[in-house]
Amino acid sequence: MKKLLALIGIALFAFILLSIDLNEMLTFLSKADLTLIALAILILVSTIAVRCAKWFLILKKQGIELSFWKAFKYYYIGIVLGTFTPGRLGDFAKALYLKEHGLAKVFACVLVDRLADISVLFLTGLLASVLFSLYFSIEVFSSAMVMLLIVLFCLAAYIFLNEPLLKKLLKPFYNHLVPARFKTQLRQGFGSFIKTSHSIVKSKKLILAVLVISFISWALLIYASYLIALALSLNVSLSFLFLVIPVTTLVMLIPISISGIGTRDATTIILFSLVGIAAEQAFAFSLLFFALSLIVAALGIPLFMSEKLDLSIA
């Protein structure tokens, strides 16, 4: 069923290709400023370093000591594997590199790191959708949907502070993120996983720091998108992209595409049209942003080659 849903994004991508002037889009793309593109790549790599700092703080709070460089290597390798391999090995690989500290404990740190990013994306995406409704009279998400999502978010936050309910909340995430081959071995460590997750969430100073760093990483990502827009000579403001990028990223989470192909592009075209950007130009922006993300991930391949990954958990 999931694979069938992913075909929706592919079909949407094909529809876009058939609906635009490809020659015009390619000509527009070929005129991109390479200096600004290189700077955007540098900012995207910096974004990874900032996101790693968040994970580094979480690990340190749990008494897991390692150098920031080591943490950065493991974090970057997770991005490489998450980008170029199927399944969920990317996130899990970071835990495997530190399994001597207790796999369930380390995996809890990975999960909280991911949940912090998702929470910030969720809040900024909803805020951006509301602002789009106010300033452009377009409903990205209906008012009822926004209210429902806010209520669900507040409910989830409440459950996180209640350990018995926390276990029920985290178990689906645990089951979803852990590859099938490791589920049996890790079931015994689920208690440690819950205890670690709860101790992290209960640390108000740590959670505040983690959320602030998440916001900074998103701001850097949006600035990188602004550099891409400048490289293409697009007439869009940085403030406009602060609305666009969270919404497009939030839409990408809908499980009807592969890596956001189709859904990201269609959303970008629709939102850019609000400020008079042609579909060909918006599509070029979306493709270039995606291509640079792949390039940045590929830059981490030497790190992966330099660090042996032991998939056993015994």
Tell me the pLDDT tens digit for each residue of 184-202: 655 656 666 677 776 777 7
**Of 184 and 14, the one with more pLDDT:** 14
**Angle value at C-alpha 108, between 105 and 114, nearest 5 degrees:** 150
Residue 186: per-residue pLDDT: 59
C-beta neighbour count of 236 within 10 angstroms: 21
Of the candidates 157, 171, 149, which has an alpha carbon nearest to the alpha carbon of residue 202? 157
**Which residues are CB-neighbours of 252 under 8 A, at least 6 positions away?**
259, 260, 263, 264
Distance CA 239, CA 148 (A): 27
Q: Where are the beta strands (DSSP E) in 87-168?
A: none
Residue 296 has pLDDT above 90, yes or no: yes
| The pLDDT value given to residue 314 | 54
**What average pLDDT does the structure give for the chain?**
81
- What tokens were used for 108? 């809890």
Q: What tokens appear for 62 in the block? A: 């749990």
Residue 76 has pLDDT above 80, yes or no: yes
pLDDT score recorded for residue 14 = 86
Is pLDDT larger for residue 122 or for residue 45?
Answer: 45
Given a cut of 60, whether residue 313 has pLDDT beyond it is: no
pLDDT recorded at residue 110: 83
Report whether pLDDT(254) > 80: no
Q: For position 160, what pLDDT does the model report?
A: 62
Query: Where is pLDDT greater, at 32 or 167?
Result: 32
Distance CA 77, CA 303 (A): 7
Mean pLDDT of 245-273: 83
How far, in Å, CA of 73 to CA of 307, rounded?
Answer: 8
Nearest to 149 by CA among 168, 171, 125, 131: 125
Q: What is the pLDDT of residues 215-238, one digit of tens each?
A: 899 999 999 999 999 999 998 999
Distance CA 5, CA 256 (A): 5
- pLDDT reported for residue 2: 53
pLDDT at residue 188, as a whole number: 57
Rounded CA-CA distance 99/88 in Å is 17
Q: Give domain limits for the chain.
A: 2-15+23-305
User: What does the buried/exposed string (b/e) look like for 10-44 if buried means 16 or more CB atoms within 10 Å of the residue's CB?
Assistant: eebbeebeeebeeeebeebbeebeeebbebbbebb
- Any residues with CB less than 8 A from the CB of 77 and at least 6 apart, and which? 93, 94, 97, 300, 303, 304, 307, 309
HSE, side-chain direction, 13 A CA sphere, residue 279: 13
50-54, 115-119, 302-306: segment of lowest average pLDDT = 115-119
Residue 233, pLDDT score:
93
> Rounded to an integer, what distance in angstroms lies between the CA atom of residue 297 and that of residue 300?
6
Percentage of residues in the chain with pLDDT exceeding 70? 78
Confidence (pLDDT) at 15: 87
What was the pLDDT predicted at 251? Answer: 80
Sequence-distant (≥ 6) Cβ neighbours of residue 218 within 8 angstroms:
120, 121, 124, 245, 246
Phi/psi at 102 (5° precision): 105, 110
In this prediction, residue 64 has a pLDDT band, given cuts at 50, 70 and 90, of confident
What pLDDT is attached to residue 232?
Answer: 94
Give pLDDT, residue 48: 94
pLDDT mean over 17-41: 92
